[in-house]
Structure 1
Amino acid sequence: MPRPRPLVIGHRGAPGYRPEHSRSSYDLALAMGADAVEPDIVVSKDGVLVVRHENEIATTTDVATRPEFADRRTTKTVDGAELGGWFTEDFTWDELATLRCRERLPQIRATSASFDDEQPVLRLRDVLDLVREASLEQGREIGVVLEIKHATYFAGLGFDVAGLISAELDEAGWGRGELPLVFESFESSVLARLRERGIPGTYIYLLEASGRPFDLFSMQGKAALTYKQTAQPAGLDRLVGSVDGVSVDKRMILAPDRLGRMTGPSAVVADAHARGLRVFTWTCRPENTFLVGQYRLRGGPAAFGDYEREWSVIRDAGVDGVFVDHPDLGVAFFRE
């Protein structure tokens, strides 16, 4: 059954105000009343689960300014895309722990950028511990939405990502379902491996607005379903019983045309609900640069646009969860 109101999920904490995945970003999201927070995880050289949006870390840490790591700069192919920079799998955790977080979008979020170089990179264990502490302090259940990044890529390097996650959850006391836990990934195969281990939680398949999932493409080539095909009724039929829901790019609900005019809401939420699947959406942001064209206002890319009108379409479509960069705005809007 659809929720009476959607879960408000602090996307990487509260990155509208603090550098993403920093301690203060998570602390702020929890203080603002988010129902859950979302750490992304990648892997270090020594198998530690590190909280970063991707394994290339030049744009979100100070690694490029550190002369002792200059020789680690390299070029790799990750999920079919060639990337240059510094990668978590080339560093031990002890080395990564010396790095400091930086704002990814300093031109858009100058206030957040003012906190650059102050806070260390976190491990998954750090986030699990602080969420449990906040749950106890605030007297409410707060969840973790754990996004697994580049599972097939890391498997190719010899890492059993599902095994690492299972062990970490057990050690942190999160493996028994005592607090809300959601697993999500753009790769359904790692979700299946986690589910086979019997870890209690909600399993959500992430869907891009375009393209194919790398795990299925690496196995099936162009025979693999695209994300768009998966969001159609026949594709959703195939997900029933294997996952608990989907998390879609908000454009798949808003359905903007080429001129940036919204034509939605589309049928994806209703179609998924008809099959017993939950629907989350990402990411609700207030700045003009992230809004559908018709909701942008004067003031430039960083100014807030008419975000409440855009968010109204998402809310009224009946979604079960929303990812937000400004948890205070998300709580105020989606709970009212």
Structure 2
Amino acid sequence: MSTLRPALSSMLALLGSTTLLPSMAAQADALEQQRQDLQNFQVIAHRGASGYAPEHTWYAYDKALAMGADYLELDIHMSADGRLVAIHDTTLERTTDGHGSVKEHSLDELKALDAGSWFNQAHPEYADDAYADAKLLTLDDVIDRYGQDVRYYIETKSPKDYPELQDALVSKLEAEDLVQSGAVVVQSFSQASLQEIHDLNPDIPLIQLLWYSPGEDGKTLEEWTGVTPSPANITDADFQAIADYADGVGPNYLYEGEPVIDARFIEQAHANDLLVHVYTINDKDRMRRLLDWGVDGLFTNFPDRLKDVLAEAE
């Protein structure tokens, strides 16, 4: 388990100040409380309550919080002028009326886009005329609105496209006291991204995302970035290599409707002191199955459904 950053501890020793001690103790307590809470089941609102409203908009985030989600999940890219923007895709076409890559547009250009009308067309059963006014949000926007009252589950997207992403993200989280207040988890498919964040601030809980799908033979499962071998061949050493920098793993449960992990995978991860947060589960029967297997959290587009399943289990 991570401890307070050495630099902070050294600063206290050098200053010999008693006035800072209560504040530092409170921060340590908050970090410890977050880690204790992570040992319990977590409802992770995938891009907000994105089953009901346009993903990564106020509508989706506010709905998720109203439904009692433990974490708001945010995907982070960078604009051409270096701003951290909440959007999943590297390109704009799917969720806005824009075109091209996120990184090719300034923040002003991104803010001018309609980020909600697509949802009304794709999901008429949940359509709302107000969604047509939805705008893309920066990480600054989200933190300014919710502050330390909300916990954030942030993914570094396409970090190879943004070499400065990790430093910019950690600097922002530290400046807003979100690390010290136990309000953030960072996830990524990129092992290098997580390792860099761990080096920048070892107090941040990290989740190594995993994507299992068939390889060239169409049968043997492979992990997308090569972080682990197939679930059938994964060893304690593979999990321990992840535990050197991360607090847990975030695997997919299904590939084209078929399970790629099982209860043994979860048990083995737990045996190596890793949390297991599975994505993205919207079906109640699958939620129940994974709860029975002992997962520590689920990503879902429908936080209310998961809350209902949890209430049934009490």
TM bucket by the smaller chain?
A: 0.7 to 0.9
* Distance in 1 (alpha carbons) for counterparts of 2:232 and 2:111: 39
- Match in the other structure for 1:319: 295
* Distance in 1 (alpha carbons) for counterparts of 2:94 and 2:251: 25
- Match in the other structure for 2:156: 148
When residues 174 and 110 of structure 1 are mapped into structure 2, their CA distance, relative to the original with a 3 A threshold, is: same
TM-score normalised by L of structure 1: 0.72
2:133 aligned to which of 101, 115, 118 = 118
User: Quick one: which amino acid aligns to residue 180 of structure 1?
Assistant: A
Structure 2: gaps of 5 or more residues: 1-35, 214-221
When residues 42 and 246 of structure 1 are mapped into structure 2, their CA distance, relative to the original with a 3 A threshold, is: same
**Contact conserved, 2:44 with 2:71, CA < 8 A, in 1?**
yes
SS of aligned partner of 1:284? coil
**Contact conserved, 1:2 with 1:320, CA < 8 A, in 2?**
no
1:243 aligned to which of 241, 246, 255 = 246
For each residue in 1:232-251, what CA deviation from the matched residue of structure 2 results, as whole angstroms up to 9, or x when unmatched?
Answer: 12421322222111001022
- Match in the other structure for 1:196: 199
1:98 aligned to which of 112, 117, 123 = 112
**Contact conserved, 1:36 with 1:145, CA < 8 A, in 2?**
yes
When residues 231 and 322 of structure 1 are mapped into structure 2, their CA distance, relative to the original with a 3 A threshold, is: farther
1:282 aligned to which of 279, 283, 286 = 279
User: Quick one: which amino acid aligns to residue 171 of structure 1?
Assistant: A
SS of aligned partner of 1:34? coil
TM-score normalised by L of structure 2: 0.76
CA-atom RMSD in angstroms: 2.7
Query: Offset of 1:263 from its aligned partner?
Result: 9.2
- Match in the other structure for 1:31: 66
- Match in the other structure for 1:288: none
* Distance in 2 (alpha carbons) for counterparts of 1:21 and 1:261: 28
Identity of aligned residues (%): 28
- Match in the other structure for 1:21: 56
Query: Offset of 1:196 from its aligned partner?
Result: 0.8
* Distance in 2 (alpha carbons) for counterparts of 1:199 and 1:238: 16
User: Quick one: which amino acid aligns to residue 123 of structure 2?
Assistant: R
- Match in the other structure for 2:305: 329
When residues 107 and 272 of structure 1 are mapped into structure 2, their CA distance, relative to the original with a 3 A threshold, is: farther
**2:186 paired with 1:167:** no
When residues 172 and 100 of structure 1 are mapped into structure 2, their CA distance, relative to the original with a 3 A threshold, is: farther
* Distance in 1 (alpha carbons) for counterparts of 2:86 and 2:116: 13
Query: Offset of 1:19 from its aligned partner?
Result: 0.3
SS of aligned partner of 2:212? coil
Structure 1: gaps of 5 or more residues: 64-84, 136-141, 215-223, 286-306
- Match in the other structure for 2:102: 88
**Contact conserved, 1:37 with 1:144, CA < 8 A, in 2?**
yes
**2:187 paired with 1:184:** yes
**Contact conserved, 1:208 with 1:227, CA < 8 A, in 2?**
no
SS of aligned partner of 2:162? helix
When residues 130 and 94 of structure 1 are mapped into structure 2, their CA distance, relative to the original with a 3 A threshold, is: same
SS of aligned partner of 1:179? coil
* Distance in 1 (alpha carbons) for counterparts of 2:65 and 2:284: 22
SS of aligned partner of 1:246? strand
SS of aligned partner of 2:279? strand
When residues 119 and 107 of structure 1 are mapped into structure 2, their CA distance, relative to the original with a 3 A threshold, is: closer
* Distance in 2 (alpha carbons) for counterparts of 1:231 and 1:7: 28
For each residue in 1:11-38, what CA deviation from the matched residue of structure 2 results, as whole angstroms up to 9, or x when unmatched?
Answer: 1000111000011110111111111110
Total equivalences in the alignment:
267
**2:129 paired with 1:129:** no
